[in-house]
């Protein structure tokens, strides 16, 4: 009887094969389905490819993208308000001048030091642009009279999409 217990106890402890990490291949004999060895996490590398980001650069990039989305929203709002005759030409001109002035004022406040030559260059370019637009507006008015509104809608939508897809994703 004692001999029988020894043989039973000898055969009752099976020789465990060494546990190995198997991703696909089923269960390993002698180990439970959710068994993990102490060597399971030895080869794990944590945060190996973490990129350190500068908070100021991330915020400036986010502001840049937000500015482009706001421009698109403003164009869509002005478009719909002018189609419904809620926004008159005089009020639209006043809105454009005030936005241009406030944007230039914000530029003056946020820039460290703007040289006088650059300031003069901005003023000269804006003057040329506004003068050319004022001079060519009767021609644009005559040319767009024959274009159907569907073409104008399609052109506006495609130019807005082109504007969104061609933005530079960085500070302005």
Q: What average pLDDT does this structure show over 15-30?
A: 68
Whole-angstrom distance, CA of residue 172 vs CA of residue 168: 8
Helix (H) or strand (E) holding 148: none
Highest-pLDDT range among 29-38, 54-63, 110-119: 54-63
Arithmetic mean of pLDDT over the chain: 78
Query: Using an 8 Å Cβ cutoff, are 30 and 14 in contact?
Result: yes
Q: Running DSSP on this structure, what letter comes out for residue 18? A: P
Q: What angle do CA 30, 34, 35 make, to 5 degrees?
A: 50
Best CA proximity match to 103, nearest among 79, 81, 70: 70
pLDDT at 11 > cutoff 60: no
Best CA proximity match to 106, nearest among 172, 43, 48: 172
Q: What average pLDDT does this structure show over 40-56?
A: 85
Best CA proximity match to 159, nearest among 72, 90, 78: 72
Q: Which two tokens stand for residue 79?
A: 């478009």
For residue 54, what pLDDT is reported? 92
124 vs 16 pLDDT, higher one: 124
Where are the domains positioned within the chain?
A: 55-165
Query: Using an 8 Å Cβ cutoff, are 81 and 87 in contact?
Result: yes
pLDDT at 129 > cutoff 80: yes
pLDDT at 168 > cutoff 80: no
The pLDDT confidence band at residue 23, using thresholds 50, 70 and 90, is low
């Amino acid at each position: 009887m004692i001999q029988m217990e020894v043989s039973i106890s000898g055969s009752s402890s099976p020789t465990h094969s060494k546990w190995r990490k198997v991703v696909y291949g089923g269960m390993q004999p002698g180990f439970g389905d959710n068994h993990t060895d102490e060597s399971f996490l030895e080869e794990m590398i944590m945060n190996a490819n973490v990129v350190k980001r500068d908070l100021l650069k991330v915020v400036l990039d986010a502001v840049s993208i937000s500015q482009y989305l706001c421009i698109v929203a403003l164009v869509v709002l002005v478009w719909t308000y002018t189609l419904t005759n809620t926004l008159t030409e005089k009020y639209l001109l006043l809105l454009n001048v005030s936005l241009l002035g406030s944007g230039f004022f914000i530029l003056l406040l946020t820039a460290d030091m703007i040289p006088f030559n650059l300031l003069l260059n901005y003023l000269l370019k804006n003057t040329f642009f506004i003068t050319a637009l004022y001079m060519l507006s009767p021609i644009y008015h005559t040319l767009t009279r024959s274009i159907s509104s569907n073409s104008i809608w399609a052109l506006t939508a495609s130019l807005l999409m082109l504007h969104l897809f061609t933005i530079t994703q960085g500070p302005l």
